[in-house]
Amino acid sequence: MIRIQREDFDIGAELASLTDGNARIGGLAMFVGLVRDRASQGQISAMTLEHYPGMTERRLGEIEAEARRRWPLEGVTIIHRYGRLEPGERIVLVATTSSHRQAALDSCAFLIDWLKTKAPFWKLEEGAAGVQWVEARESDDQAAERWKK
Amino acid sequence: MIRIQREDFDIGAELASLTDGNARIGGLAMFVGLVRDRASQGQISAMTLEHYPGMTERRLGEIEAEARRRWPLEGVTIIHRYGRLEPGERIVLVATTSSHRQAALDSCAFLIDWLKTKAPFWKLEEGAAGVQWVEARESDDQAAERWKK
Amino acid sequence: MKLLYFAWVRTNIGKAEEEVAAPDHVQTVEDLLDWLATLGPQYAAALDRRNVVKVAVNHEYVEHDHPVRPDDEVALFPPVTGG
Amino acid sequence: MKLLYFAWVRTNIGKAEEEVAAPDHVQTVEDLLDWLATLGPQYAAALDRRNVVKVAVNHEYVEHDHPVRPDDEVALFPPVTGG
């Protein structure tokens, strides 16, 4: 299940809909990214997430499909917000379920690593010194690179 | 925060109390283990978790302390249930928060891997053929071994 | 050809999208970027760090030697920073 | 000495805990296991797979050569299977 939305999401409700009624699930792994109040250039007061509607859904669909090819997953949920978000707000949720713990954990890490380098989102940070587009980080490329086969 | 309890827990509420009001958090990673309806020897109808009160809390405290030594964590929650659980029920939750995504993901995987091989819990499965103590799995030892330094 | 701009490519150029009729010699992404850079200083500034500009043609990431056609949707943007 | 049994060590021996006064020659975990195995067939059965039995003294995992003392709490159990 993939959703791109402006609104916040309810972690408990999302995870419940991913697991309820499926007793083949042995493990549920989740990652949630949140807006921090500081970035490389100091305090930030908010950030605005821009994305490429249409392409975003396609790329995330491919990332989910790739995860399902690599691991025996029962379910996948990806939710990514766009628009203006303040520190402490949720940005993204990825969650996976599997009969096996390791498959859930690894696929969850894979999804967020690939999403970060492949899904067309961009962050504009608002700080004391004005607004600034976030630069892509080499560590994110390296994290995604780990999963190359 | 470590809790050993018979009752179920509310994932959304637990994660909220781990993250709310802390805008230094950039990433929240979580793993939840659930009772599956089948195990190595076929269908299971329930399992009973036994533990060693006193030692359990100490070992989990040490595992949390080790995670905090290795990664810059904002918060850690470990909840493990005991008693009789049916398929689909939650057994364990581990969750970590950090300013960095990788620290949250890695420490969460570390916590569940070490918990599985170090916390004094034992599972008794009920199936069609009667009850049976779950055998420790070598793959769990190997998973814990990855984190040896 | 429909062009879409995101993040600082968008803010530099000053618009989010436009319909363009590129000259016939524009056969690849590279040709397109060369031609766009001649359309004005804001385009030149947006495309200055040429090797950093990522390109998607019809929602697929492509390299700069990829062909472009008049009915393509071509998007230009910096490296992504979501998640 | 307080002894605690868990999982199949407990179900084989048939009790969860007991207070024992071990003979003076019981100086280590190994000595304790040897002595317990003489207390009856249920003890012998529980301790049959000797190298699989894990031991904690006062809540700390120890090896079988670890010393045991009269005021220790000693727990015997199979490899753990929680999580």
Strand partners, B48: B84, B124
H helix or E strand, kind and range, residue A45: strand A42-51
Nearest CB neighbour to C83, from listed A58, A115, A135? A115
Chain B nearest-CA distance from A11, in A, is 6
**pLDDT recorded at residue C57:** 98
Asked whether the beta carbons of residue A122 and residue C59 sit closer than 8 angstroms, the reply is no
**What integer is the mean pLDDT of B134-139?**
89
Q: DSSP secondary-structure letter at C67?
A: B
Q: Do D6 and B52 make contact, defined as CB atoms within 8 angstroms?
A: yes
- Residue A128: is its pLDDT beyond 90? no
A-chain residues near C77 (CB < 8 A): 52, 120, 122
Tens digit of pLDDT for each residue in B33-71? 999 998 767 899 999 999 999 999 999 999 999 999 999
What pLDDT score was predicted for residue D77? Answer: 98
Instruction: Answer yes or no: is pLDDT of D78 > 80.
Output: yes
**Distance in Å, alpha carbon of A138 to nearest chain C alpha carbon:** 11
Which tokens go with D12?
């084989």
ipTM: 0.94
Task: Please give chain C's pLDDT, 83 residues, in tens.
Answer: 999 999 999 999 999 999 999 999 999 999 999 999 999 999 999 999 999 999 999 999 999 999 999 999 999 999 999 99
Whether residue B78 has pLDDT greater than 90: yes
Calpha distance B28→B101 (Å, rounded): 7
Q: Which residues of C fall within a CB distance of 8 Å from A134? A: 81
Chain B neighbors of D79, CB-CB under 8 A: 117, 135-136
Q: How far apart are CA D22 and CA D4, in angstroms?
A: 14
Comparing alpha-carbon positions, the chain B residue that sits nearest to D73 is B55
Any CB–CB contact under 8 A between B53 and chain A? no
Q: In this complex, do A27 and B31 lie within 8 Å of one another by their Cβ atoms?
A: yes
Model pLDDT, residue C47: 94
Pick from A12, D81, A101, A9: nearest CA to B9: A12
Percentage of residues of chain A with pLDDT beyond 90:
86
Which of D51, D58, D74, D81 is most worth mutating to test chain B (most B CB atoms within 10 A of its CB)? D81
Of residues A128 and A119, more confidently modeled: A119
User: Is the CB of C59 less than 8 angstroms away from the CB of A54?
Assistant: yes
Would you call A123 and C59 a contact, using CB atoms and an 8 Å cutoff? no
| Pair of tokens at residue A110 | 């894979």
Task: List the beta bridge partners of residue B83.
Answer: B49
Coil/strand/helix, residue B118? helix
Would you list the DSSP string of A81-136? E-EEE-TT-EEEEEEEEESSHHHHHHHHHHHHHHHHHHS-EEEEEEETTEEEEPPP
Lowest mean pLDDT among A22-26, A101-105, A141-145, D29-33: A141-145
Query: What is the average per-residue pLDDT within A66-72?
Result: 98
- In the complex, which subunits touch C with 3 or more CB pairs below 8 angstroms? A
Which helix (H) or strand (E) segment is D17 a member of?
A: strand D17-19
For residues B59 and B119, is the Cβ–Cβ distance under 8 A? yes
Q: Does D51 touch chain B (CB under 8 A)?
A: no
Q: What percent of chain D has pLDDT over 70?
A: 100
Per-residue confidence at A24, pLDDT binned at 50, 70, 90? Answer: very high
- Measured between CB atoms, which of B58, B116, B124 is closest to D83? B116
Substitution target in C17, C55, C59, C81 with the highest count of A β-carbons within 10 Å is C81
Q: What is the pLDDT of residue A116?
A: 96
Do residues C54 and C66 touch, judged by C-beta distance below 8 A? no
**Contact between chains at B55 and D56 (C-beta distance less than 8 A):** yes
User: Which residues share a beta bridge with A80?
Assistant: A4, A92
